[in-house]
Amino acid sequence: MSCAPGPPTFRLLDHLVGWGPLDVFQLTDPDDPGGIQLAPAGAGGPLRSDFLPWLPDPRLAPGCGPCAWYLATSQHGLLRRDSCAGWQPAWPPDCDPGLAARPHAVAARGHLLAVATPEAVYLWRREGDQLVAVIPGQATALALAPWGELLLGHDGSADLSRFDLAGVPRGQVVTGMTGRIEALAGSRTLADGGNGTIWALTRTDGTWQLWRGDRGSPDPFRQATLDDLAAAVDRTSLTIATDQGFCLTEPGPDSDLVPSCFTWDGRPAGSISLGTSTLPTTGQLLTTAIDSGQPRCRWHRVRVDADVPAGTSVLVAVATSEDPTPPGTTAGPADSGGYPTGPPNQNDWQDAGAASADFLVDQAPGQYLYLRLRLTGDGTTTPVVRRIRLDFPRVTSADQLPAVYTADPAAADFTERFLSLFDAAFEEADRAVERYPALLDPGGVPDEVLPWLGGLLGLVFDPGWDATIRRKLIKAAPGLYRGRGTLTALTQVINIVFGVDVAVDELAADRAWGALNQSGRLGFTRLFSLSRTRFRAGGSALSSAPIRSFGNPDDDPLTAQANRIQVLVPPAPGRGGPDLAALRALVVSQAPAHTVAEVRPGGLGLVVGVWSAVGVDTALVPLPPPVLEAGAPPGAVQPVTLNRHSVLWPAARGSWTGIRLEAGPAVGIHTVAQ
């Protein structure tokens, strides 16, 4: 039987879902978000250049002074540099000790100088003027310890040889380090606050490791960090060291740091580049058995998402099996091409070829699938594989054809593979249609798409609106269109754009022209003002009333404030309010066309009297000081008549609250009484 018909599904192989690696050969970590690629030796670890300013190349040693250096050359012997100029021989021609063309390592500390040749190690005092010891044998690295010893590192060994400053042996130091010693250095002197530590840099198969050994400690050398090294050893001006030469970054004539580059024989060099890391030319990833969950499943399709530069390739191979990999199975020995092998048998793999990033699985039905990924490069460039998608089970448009087309197994296989070409093309179109709703999601599209999406809804964005405001407007657009012209929609769009809650006052709703209450008390009724209505004979002053030739004068109390609104913006103590010009433009664009809108910012004072309405733009303040004789002629006393409701000034004694709200005034929801 074959796997039961059902909807197609897929399995992703990437850093998020996992690759299920059985063996990784010369590739980067599969969990790297950047994808799988060829990994240089020591990838992910420190580089030699990271330690270079504190642990120079054994051929270089800093001297006393900002620009003083020693250089061991194969052609000119030991060179010395006392200033920021060129290199000179360490000894005059008549005093040359006979080290020409032989030094390969040098160390200096204070007035002490040690030089290693293929035959012996020479130790001088007074910076080379007094030879004090000749130690037979060859050393690859030298270090003058701060406690007065000479330490030698030898090729093929991680142990150190100890000598006093007279050349007398003091035994061996079993360090416990791994790899080959590439550089040695001592910490600052004990008087300068150092801890009496020797630092060693080793290399094992391209991986660099830093070690430290403390003076007097019974423990062998232990691993250390770059921060530990920088805290104990003085930094030098050495910045670059390659096979072509080295560079010293030192102060120039204008006190700016200027690099000075030299070859290893002391000649000036224009510039020296660090170059690029050499990459392996091949790499491989083997996966464990990938379970489809369906017995005798017919795996359908493999799609590879990768970048393949010129000179590189990505080769994918698959194999199926009905039995899972036995527990504990590991990769086997390398095949004829140098790749590690693993399950299944090498003859069962289906190799898609270097040019296939999308291919059909042509394998027998099986519940499990194995995948082999091989990357090749030219040593300087690597391909990058980000994701692989495995589709299963096989579902093609051949399933929609009459059974006669699939009666013959060979014909059925050809028909399915042939129709898969068209299915793949149609699938891309179907995916685009399926993804189309995502293009209309204001929260998921990029910022650059928002103007296009707003154009579909008839929205024109102000250039000053950020992406957050635009997304909120697009999301609220259906509701805003349904309520356009209403106070609710107007206040909502103002809140979205400016982030303030305003109050909209319809002036027509506030009128009470000529209306008397049941008791007929005129003191609580607002009469229609003659100066604001049209001219009436016998009742209006001609100079203070407008003359109109249309409409019914009896309707004036009902139409005087109709279609007029006020947008009241509350004060914002301690922070700036919205841009009033932009707010007015927004209100005009959103208010109904037959209305006249006005924007009034809050914060102005108002004396509350009978029938005064306190709104969101009103600030309650105390009364001004009274002036009783204002306007009276000089020397004359004008009597002042006080009403029983008049307030002159608070008394000298007693509490004063600033203002008292009686039963008449109405306080708005945004009013703050102070």
Question: Strand pairing partners for 249?
Answer: 259
* The pLDDT of residue 438: 80
* The pLDDT of residue 527: 47
User: CA–CA distance from 527 to each of 387, 530, 539, 554, 582 (Å)?
Assistant: 81, 9, 14, 14, 37
The set of residues, in sequence order, having a beta carbon less than 8 Å from that of 481 and lying 6+ positions away, is none
Q: Distance (Å, rounded) from C-alpha 588 to C-alpha 596? A: 8
CB half-sphere exposure, 555, CA atoms < 13 A:
6
pLDDT at 455 over 80: yes
Percent of the chain past pLDDT 90, that is, above it, reads 9
User: Which range, 74-78, 411-415, 417-421, is most confident?
Assistant: 74-78
pLDDT tens-digit readout, 364-396:
889 999 999 999 988 778 899 999 999 888 777
DSSP H helices, 118-250, are: 226-232
Buried b / exposed e over 161-181, threshold 16 CB at 10 Å, is: bebebebeeeeebebebebbb
pLDDT at 131 over 80: yes
Q: Distance (Å, rounded) from C-alpha 526 to C-alpha 50? A: 87
Q: Distance (Å, rounded) from C-alpha 469 to C-alpha 453? A: 14
User: Which stretch of 260-274, 501-515, 519-533 has the lowest confidence by average pLDDT?
Assistant: 519-533
Question: Please, which pLDDT band fits residue 14 given cuts at 50, 70 and 90?
Answer: very high
Question: Strand pairing partners for 172?
Answer: 161
Strands 613-614, 666-667: pairing kind: parallel
pLDDT at 40 over 80: no
* The pLDDT of residue 570: 82
> Which tops the pLDDT comparison, 499 or 335?
499
Percent of the chain past pLDDT 70, that is, above it, reads 72
Q: Distance (Å, rounded) from C-alpha 146 to C-alpha 264? A: 28
> Which tops the pLDDT comparison, 444 or 628?
444
* The pLDDT of residue 560: 64
Q: What totals of helices (H) and strands (E) does the chain contain, helices first?
A: 8, 40
* The pLDDT of residue 45: 65
* The pLDDT of residue 388: 94
> Which tops the pLDDT comparison, 83 or 316?
316
Record the tokens describing residue 123, joined without a space: 């130790």
Average pLDDT taken over every residue of the chain = 77
CATH number belonging to the domain at 48-269, selected among 3.40.50.720, 2.40.128.630, 3.30.420.60, 3.20.20.30 = 2.40.128.630
Q: Distance (Å, rounded) from C-alpha 598 to C-alpha 43? A: 68
pLDDT at 151 over 50: yes
Question: Strand pairing partners for 134?
Answer: 122
The set of residues, in sequence order, having a beta carbon less than 8 Å from that of 199 and lying 6+ positions away, is 54, 55, 184, 185, 186, 187, 210, 211, 212, 224, 229, 232, 233
Q: Distance (Å, rounded) from C-alpha 254 to C-alpha 249? A: 14
**9-40+279-395 has which CATH code?**
2.60.120
Identify the CA nearest to 153 among candidates 56, 58, 74.
58
Calculate mean pLDDT across residues 309-322.
Answer: 90
* The pLDDT of residue 530: 44
pLDDT tens-digit readout, 547-568:
766 667 666 666 666 788 888 8
Q: Distance (Å, rounded) from C-alpha 203 to C-alpha 183? A: 10
Rounded-to-5 percentages of helix, strand, coil across the chain: 20, 30, 50
Which sign, positive or negative, has the C-alpha torsion 600, 578, 476, 615? negative
Count other Cβ atoms within 10 Å, centred on residue 200: 26
Collapsing DSSP states into helix, strand and coil, what is residue 479? Answer: helix
- pTM here is 0.42
* The pLDDT of residue 415: 76
Calculate mean pLDDT across residues 607-635.
Answer: 54
User: Which stretch of 121-130, 143-152, 176-185, 435-444 has the lowest confidence by average pLDDT?
Assistant: 435-444
Calculate mean pLDDT across residues 51-74.
Answer: 87
User: Which range, 13-17, 227-231, 427-431, is most confident?
Assistant: 13-17
pLDDT tens-digit readout, 152-209:
888 777 888 889 988 888 888 888 888 888 889 888 755 444 557 888 898 876 678 8
* The pLDDT of residue 669: 45
Q: Distance (Å, rounded) from C-alpha 259 to C-alpha 277? A: 22
Angle between helices 580-590 and 487-498 (to 10 degrees): 150
CATH 2.60.120 domain range(s) in the chain: 9-40+279-395
Looking up tokens 């192989």 gives 13
* The pLDDT of residue 306: 92
Q: Distance (Å, rounded) from C-alpha 353 to C-alpha 336? A: 18
* The pLDDT of residue 99: 58
DSSP secondary-structure letter at 612? Answer: P
Count other Cβ atoms within 10 Å, centred on residue 290: 20
Q: How many angstroms separate the most distant Cα atoms in the chain?
A: 135
pLDDT at 337 over 70: no
CATH 2.40.128.630 domain range(s) in the chain: 48-269
The answer to whether 167 and 184 have CB atoms below 8 angstroms apart is: no
* The pLDDT of residue 663: 45
Collapsing DSSP states into helix, strand and coil, what is residue 418? Answer: helix
Angle in degrees, CA 483, 489, 492, rounded to 5: 150
Q: How far apart are the first and last CA of the chain?
A: 86
* The pLDDT of residue 507: 75
Question: Strand pairing partners for 9?
Answer: 392
The answer to whether 512 and 525 have CB atoms below 8 angstroms apart is: yes
User: CA–CA distance from 575 to each of 44, 332, 615, 655, 673 (Å)?
Assistant: 50, 71, 20, 32, 19
Record the tokens describing residue 461, joined without a space: 């964005």
Question: Please, which pLDDT band fits residue 539 given cuts at 50, 70 and 90?
Answer: low
User: Which stretch of 292-306, 464-478, 603-617 has the lowest confidence by average pLDDT?
Assistant: 603-617
